[in-house]
C-alpha cells in the first residue's frame, strides 16, 4: 500500500463509520503489534518517544529529526495510517513548513501541531504557556500550504483550557479551524461537561480528537463513549509505555531476585515466539529468493 493510499484511507475513514481508535506507539515494534491487533490507525506520541528514547519527561527535549526518523522507521515496517505528534512545529511558521515536508515524506498521514511556546510540555502537566492565537493560526496556514498532498491532514491543537479557560480554548479552536485545520484537538478538558461543550461547538463541522491519558486531567472514557459525545478520533498515546514500564520494572526485579527468568516465563515470548511475531522466518525465506 502506498503512502498516498494511506492518506486517502484516513481521510475517508474520518468521514464515515464509528469513532477511530488510534493506539499510541513509539517504534516499529509497537506499531507492528498494534497493527496486528487490528488498529486502523496509529498515533506516534512525542511523549512516548521522550519516555523510551531519552528516558526523560515530555518537556520539549525531543527534536524534529528524532521524530522524523521514527516516522520513517515505522513506515518501513507497517502501512497503517499514522497520526504524528509534531509538538509546536519545532519553531515558527517556517519551521512548521519544514516539519510538514519532512514528516510527510517520511510517511506521516496527519500532523498534530499545538499552540504552546518553546519549549513545550506534556498537555497534562502544569505550567504550560501559549503563543498568541493569531500566530498559531499562521502556523496552521503555513502547514496547510507546505503539505504536498491535500490528503495529509493538519490537526490544530490548543492547550488553552489549562491556561486561559474553556471559552478561550473554544475561540482559539475556532480560529484554527478558519485557518484550515482538518481536525481539532482541544487538549485536557477537565470533565465530561467540557467534553460535551467542545462537541456541541464543533462536532457538526469538523472531526474532533480526544486524548485519553491514564491519570491525566481528562476523565477516561472508552472510544464508544467519546463517539457518542461527538468525537471522531480517540487516542491513548502513552498507555503502551506505562504498561511496558510496569512490566519491565517487575521483570528486572524478578531477574535480579531469582537469578533467572523462570518465574517470568509465562509472561514473555521465548526466542521462537518473538521471531514469529516479527516475521523472522518469512524474511529469511525471502532472502533466499535472492541467493546466487
Q: What was the pLDDT predicted at 6? A: 54
Q: What was the pLDDT predicted at 33? A: 98
Q: What was the pLDDT predicted at 1? A: 34
156 and 212 inside one domain: yes
159 and 90 inside one domain: yes
18 and 106 inside one domain: yes
Q: What was the pLDDT predicted at 259? A: 98
89 and 135 inside one domain: yes
4 — pLDDT class (breaks 50, 70, 90): very low
pLDDT digits (tens, 9 = 90+) for 273-291: 999 999 999 999 999 999 9
219 and 164 inside one domain: yes
Q: Which sign, positive or negative, has the C-alpha torsion 115, 118, 124, 128?
A: negative
Q: Please indicate whether residue 175 or residue 128 has the higher confidence score (pLDDT).
A: 175
The last residue of one of the domains, among 219, 240, 261, is: 240
d(CA 112, CA 234): 14
152 and 280 inside one domain: no
270 and 185 inside one domain: no
pLDDT digits (tens, 9 = 90+) for 28-81: 999 999 999 999 999 999 999 999 999 999 999 999 999 999 999 999 999 999
CATH number at residue 149: 3.20.20.60
232 and 276 inside one domain: no
pLDDT digits (tens, 9 = 90+) for 206-241: 999 999 999 988 999 999 999 999 999 999 999 999
197 and 225 inside one domain: yes
220 and 156 inside one domain: yes
Q: What was the pLDDT predicted at 37? A: 97
139 and 252 inside one domain: no
> Does the pLDDT of residue 118 top 90, yes or no?
no
- Give me the long-range contacts of 5-8 (CB less than 8 A, separation at least 24): 6/79, 6/80, 6/81, 6/82, 6/107, 6/109, 7/81, 7/109, 7/149, 7/151, 7/152, 7/153, 8/151
269 and 126 inside one domain: no
21, β-bridge pairs: 234
Determine contact, residues 203/19, Cβ cutoff 8 Å. no
pLDDT digits (tens, 9 = 90+) for 162-189: 999 999 999 999 999 999 999 999 999 9
Total domains present in the chain:
2
Give me the mean pLDDT over the 155-168 stretch: 96
Determine contact, residues 81/10, Cβ cutoff 8 Å. yes
Determine contact, residues 77/270, Cβ cutoff 8 Å. no
Mean pLDDT of all residues belonging to the chain: 94
Range of the domain at 255: 245-288
Quote the percentage of the chain above a pLDDT of 70: 97
Q: What was the pLDDT predicted at 283? A: 96
Q: What was the pLDDT predicted at 122? A: 79
Amino acid at each position: 500500500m502506498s503512502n498516498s493510499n494511506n492518506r486517502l484511507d484516513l481521510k475517508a475513514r474520518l468521514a464515515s463509520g464509528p469513532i477511530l481508535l488510534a493506539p499510541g506507539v513509539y517504534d516499529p515494534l509497537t506499531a507492528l503489534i498494534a497493527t496486528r491487533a487490528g488498529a486502523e490507525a496509529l498515533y506516534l506520541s512525542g511523549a512516548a518517544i521522550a519516555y523510551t528514547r531519552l528516558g526523560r519527561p515530555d518537556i520539549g527535549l525531543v527534536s524534529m529529526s528524532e521524530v522524523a526518523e521514527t516516522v520513517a522507521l515505522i513506515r518501513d515496517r507497517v502501512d497503517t495510517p499514522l497520526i504524528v505528534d509534531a509538538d509546536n512545529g519545532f519553531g515558527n511558521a517556517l519551521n512548521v513548513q519544514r516539519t510538514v515536508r519532512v514528516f510527510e515524506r517520511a510517511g506521516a498521514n496527519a500532523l498534530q501541531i499545538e499552540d504552546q511556546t518553546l519549549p513545550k510540555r506534556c498537555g497534562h502537566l502544569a505550567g504550560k504557556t501559549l503563543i498568541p492565537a493569531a500566530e498559531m493560526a499562521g502556523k496552521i496556514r503555513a502547514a496547510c500550504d507546505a503539505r504536498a498532498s491535500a490528503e495529509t491532514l493538519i490537526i490544530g491543537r490548543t492547550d488553552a483550557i489549562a491556561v486561559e479557560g474553556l471559552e478561550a480554548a473554544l475561540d482559539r479552536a475556532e480560529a484554527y479551524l478558519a485557518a484550515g485545520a482538518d481536525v481539532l484537538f482541544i487538549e485536557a478538558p477537565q470533565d465530561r461537561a467540557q467534553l460535551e461543550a467542545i462537541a456541541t461547538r464543533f462536532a457538526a463541522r469538523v472531526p474532533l480528537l480526544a486524548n485519553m491519558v491514564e491519570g491525566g486531567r481528562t476523565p477516561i472514557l472508552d472510544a464508544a463513549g467519546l463517539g457518542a459525545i461527538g468525537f471522531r478520533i480517540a487516542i491513548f498515546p502513552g498507555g503502551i509505555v506505562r504498561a511496558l514500564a510496569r512490566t519491565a520494572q517487575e521483570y528486572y526485579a524478578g531477574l535480579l531476585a531469582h537469578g533467572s527468568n523462570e518465574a517470568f516465563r509465562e509472561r514473555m515470548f521465548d526466542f521462537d515466539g518473538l521471531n514469529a511475531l516479527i516475521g523472522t522466518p518469512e524474511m529469511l525465506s525471502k532472502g533466499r529468493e535472492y541467493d546466487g
